[in-house]
Each structure stands twice: as C-alpha cells, then as structure tokens.
Structure 1
Amino acid sequence: MRRTVEWSIHLHLYEEDGTTRARAVLDTGTRTLTGQGTARCNPEDVDVPEIGDELAAGRAMDHLAGQLMRVADRDLESVGAGAPADRRTAYGWSDAMS
C-alpha cells in the first residue's frame, strides 16, 4: 500500500523577563496534539534569545513526541498489538535501530 500524507507543526515562541515558552501544535488532519516547553535564562549568563528559543522549542517538541508515542501505543493496543518492551526498538524496524 502506498500512501502520502502531510502533517503540519506550528511552533509558537513567547519570551518575557528571561523566560521563553514554546508551544508546538501538530495537526495530522484527524487529530491535534500540543507540546509545551520552557527555558529560563540564568541571571548570571549572557541573554542570548536564540538559545532560549532552541531550548524551549526542543522541549516542546520532545513533549509532543512523547504524546505521539503514547497515541501510537494506544492505537497498536486497539488492533491487538502491544507496545515494544524496549522503547529503543522501533515498531517493525528493529534492524534499523541497531
């Protein structure tokens, strides 16, 4: 079976008083998931906004990825398959993960 889909991720960044907050919104066409991330600049460090953006965005996408994996686990269980015991093993692509 061949299939092509496109999912959209919108990343929103907000900075105020040395704190950067990120919100990553994934739209699959059938579901929307939202990840959150925060980064704070240490008052003793040089304020480089791009670093706060990168940290907050990375954390928001990591949060989003965790949610997406939990959705996949539930979907697999609903069709009679279980989640892998070792999370480092990808579904159906265990050789590619070695």
Structure 2
Amino acid sequence: MTIIMIILGMSFVTMLPRVIPAFVVEKLQFRPWINQWLSAIPYAALGALIFPGILSVVPDQPFIGIIGGIIAIILALFGLNVVLVVIGAILTVFLLTL
C-alpha cells in the first residue's frame, strides 16, 4: 500500500508542473519581443540536442557528420518534408562512410 501511495504521489508531483503552465500561460499577455524569444526556445533546444550527435557520427571523422548536417540544412532550405531531410542526411552519411 505504501508503494502505491509513493507512486501516486510522485506521479502527481511530476504532472502538476507540466499541467499548470498549459492553463496559466494561455491567459498571460507577453510583449512581442518576449513571444519571439519564447518561440525560438524549441529550435535552440533541438539544435543543442542534434549538434553533438552530428559531431560524433563517426568518432574519428567528425567532418562526415558536419557534411551530413550541411546537406540537411540545404534540403530544409528547399522546403522539403522533414522525413526527406532526415533521409537525405542519413543517406549522405552512409555514402561517405562506405
């Protein structure tokens, strides 16, 4: 019984900070520059997650990952679907490692 209460308590404490902003942020009005800054956070987080992986695709040859990342950027600038951008980058890295 104690374990169930601990699990329920931990799930509530974890869920609470995730649910509250969904209701509170909707009612707040921010200045335009704050909205612009907040909208850039997902891209910054995504870049922080992807960039180390680009450099460590082939540990001895980081330029292969960099070339794959550049190809992905070029394909994205052409407005291709995200799936096609990822496939293009993967195919580039695969061909360079042969």
TM, length-normalised to structure 1: 0.33
Which is bigger in relative contact order (C-alpha 8 A, separation at least 6)?
1
Q: Which protein has the larger Cα radius of gyration, Structure 1 or Structure 2?
A: 2
- Between Structure 1 and Structure 2, the one with more strand by share is 1
- Between Structure 1 and Structure 2, the one with more helix by share is 2
